[in-house]
Structure 1
Amino acid sequence: MVRHPAFIFLYLLLLIPAAGFSQTTSLDIELARRELRNGNHAEALRRFRTIIEEDAGYIPEAHRHMARIFVDLGDDQQAVRHFGRALNSGPFAIPDDRVRTYHELARQHLHMDRMFAYEQTMYALFEYNDEFTGSASASRRANIEQVFIRQSLARALELYRLTPGPFAAAHYEFGMHLLRSGRDDSLQHLLFYLLDTYSLAIEYYRRIEPRYTFIDLYRFTDDIRQNRQVNEFLDRRNVYWAVAYLGDAMYFYGGGGGASTRARELWQFVSRQAVAGDAAEYAARQLAADRPVNPGPPIR
């Protein structure tokens, strides 16, 4: 069917204001972010409020940034309020930002000593991790845990590589909270953190050595010794502390089936790493102790 030229012109004319409005909103959010980066909280708040009032997109992002400003200003209630509004204002332009907003809200609850709210928010966050929650992933997660407990962390890494996502920091933080709270589900969070971290590290190394085959943690540590990029990544991720604490989780909450043996293998691995620093000393103490110590109460 042939469209009349006048109809086409009218259709295009109607599109122009909408496109211009969307671009203006995108520019507004960037200008507001610039004010925030420059420390101009009052002007940034004004711009973010304008974006919300115009109701033309980027509303979740505006609320999230406002929450961050109130965190900086020490207004805890307003921070929680705007993080909550960000999560309830529709989709984010970058979907992973929803997960990051949940994590920021959880940290705010932790800062305010709201332990129940903190834990519930973290559980809500992990609902977005398809590799960790849901009926489809439950059996896979159980298989990963069993391979780790009965064989080794290296074997779990060999069989199960995780798709990198925005969940790693939350797994580590929540795993440590649960470990210090005496909860056995700390094990799965610390394990998934390490699977995520080492999956990424191996992927980075394979960009340099495309034919690289992962064998075990000792060999991998030797192979990357001269690779500054991979070592800096592992250092930023506190990988040796995470391995040592996974050993703690195994020892105290891993149950039977070789959990104690696996814990000592992890401590031994960390204690032998010259680059592990304080984590190596901690692991050596756990390894030598007649009764290893629990890391202690949760950090507020």
Structure 2
Amino acid sequence: MPYITVRGFNHYYEWISESGNEPSDKPVLVFVHGWGGSARYWESTARALCDRFDCLLYDMRGFGRSRSNTSETSPLAEPPETVVELSYELETYADDLAGLLDVLGLQRVCLNAHSMGASVAVFFLNLYADRVDRAILTCSGIFEYDEKAFNAFYKFGGYVVKFRPRWLYGLPFVDRLFMQRFLHRSLPGAISRSFLNDFLMADYEAALGTIFTCVSKKATEVMPQEFAQITVPTLLISGDRDIIIPAEMGRQAAALNNNIQYVVIPNTAHFPMLEDAPTYLERVREFLDVGVVQPSVAGSRE
């Protein structure tokens, strides 16, 4: 499996393109996954769009195949002096993405990011606006601070992250129960099992740390400002049945900025790209087919 060292941490990444597992000369579309997941759930979307883009998928630090116990060595390793102490703030994950693009020699890309990954992407759009042509934020939004509700969420989230015995993966129907809260339409069993596996394997520190950075008083104060500052053409997509990040939160975020187009996909929840792929892909293609430039590449992509 391909790994790349970014800021001292091994990151799993892969290309999906018409030529196979290598990029060609098409514009690059980078996919960013959400909390507890991995790039695996983006694969079908990437394959559907690889006629137009070279699709780059990666697992964020501490999640999926980019865990701290990853033993694979990277031919693209950075010198030891560049290793830094990394936190679980959303901004640091945006810096991770910039580092990934640097090592791969990619100067300008399009983004498609989901849930927590969409929050990371919002910071990236403002910190590195010159590196993004167009962006899609799937299931994102802004919310208000509620101390009592947040403390209850932290307590429950901490319990869920701490008690994740691996044997759960072997029990029948656990994957369906695990995904039930996220979906309005059921998904094939293989996809649900992949979600459960990623959740069970996520690093404890990363899983818990990002709970506190994604749902926090700071986030309620900062994220509206970040949405308002976006200068990159952006499409925000919500599922109308989403109870994780309700559509109204997306609507409020989009209303802050004329650069953000807003779309709601009916009868979908937190994974509209999987629950109604045809509609999702139609909306995405309509948006991406306007004004996407050829990639600007510095150095090699291998």
The TM-score, its normalising length taken from structure 1, stands at 0.25
Structure with greater strand percent: 2
Q: Which structure has the larger Rg? A: 1
The TM-score, its normalising length taken from structure 2, stands at 0.25
The one of the two structures with greater contact order (alpha-carbon pairs below 8 A, sep at least 6) is 2
Structure with greater helix percent: 1
